[in-house]
Amino acid sequence: MKIGRNDPCWCGSKKKYKACHIAFDEKINSYAQKGFPVPSHAILKTPAQLEGIRESGKINTAILYMVAEKIHAGMSTEEINTLVHEFTIAHNAIPATLNYKGYPKSVCTSINNEVCHGIPDANRILKNGDIINVDVTTIYNGYYADASRMFCIGEVSPEAKKLVDVTKECLELGLKAVKPWGFLGDIGAVIQAHAEKHGYSVVENIGGHGVGLSFHEEPYVCHIGKPNTGMLLVPGMVFTIEPMINAGTSEVYEDADNGWTIYTDDGSLSAQWEYTVAVTEDGAEILTR
């Protein structure tokens, strides 16, 4: 429905549209008229919604710091799940993954050649030399925040350590590429270039996503791409950047038994780091890391 100049603005500010977002929308429309895909108002978060996601993000980040303090060789991935679940509940929050489309645990724990969605298991014991991604999503007061980190267990090989470090560099470069009135393709382009410079591949068919009011929203964030392509980035967008970088082929497959865990097709190592970020007037704000 078309908004009149003197109608209340769609953002919830209670200001008249002409005094609030009319110039903003006109700028977006100018890109749309040139053929660029642009975000709808439904994708953009209001200041109140951003604050809600920030609060959820604080808990999500605290969970990952807690895991960092306690993770060690000899513990099971089920123990990590228990730590995450109990910490989340103790902070009056909800683990978003638990029972999400049938997922049975409160966290994802992906080891070595597991790309993502590893399911915690009492019989899966962390060993010296393992690399593991711990992926946490939190719901607090109805708002979602999502982030993951890599952990090196004991003494890992130089090859594994380099993969973990380069993947983190890919994430940071992707973050720097987030600029208002830039494009989603800018993010994928810098991630792909940095990974391939080091001889690695980027998982192409799993990517980041909008988040905040629900677990998975628009837009889809691909970690390969070309500059100046993809959806226009505008202030108020919130999404994850979560590159999955493989030491070998980019091809992956899903566990036929559990229907969740994704593995590298050639058995090579994989690493992933993830932030939830908001596009701002001058760049990006990390809402959870």
Question: Where in the chain are the domains?
Answer: 40-288
> pLDDT tens string for the chain (289 positions)?
689 999 999 998 999 999 999 999 999 999 999 999 999 999 999 999 999 999 999 999 999 999 999 999 999 999 999 999 999 999 999 999 999 999 999 999 999 999 999 999 999 999 999 999 999 999 999 999 999 999 999 999 999 999 999 999 999 999 999 999 999 999 999 999 999 999 999 999 999 999 999 999 999 999 999 999 999 999 999 999 999 999 999 999 999 999 999 999 999 999 999 999 999 999 999 999 9
Q: Annotate 42-77 with b (16+ C-beta within 10 A) or e (fewer).
A: ebbbeeebbebbbbbbbbbbbbbeebeeebeeeebb
CATH number of 40-288: 3.90.230.10
What gap in Å lies between CA 277 and CA 287, rounded to an integer?
A: 5
Instruction: State pTM to two decimals.
Output: 0.96
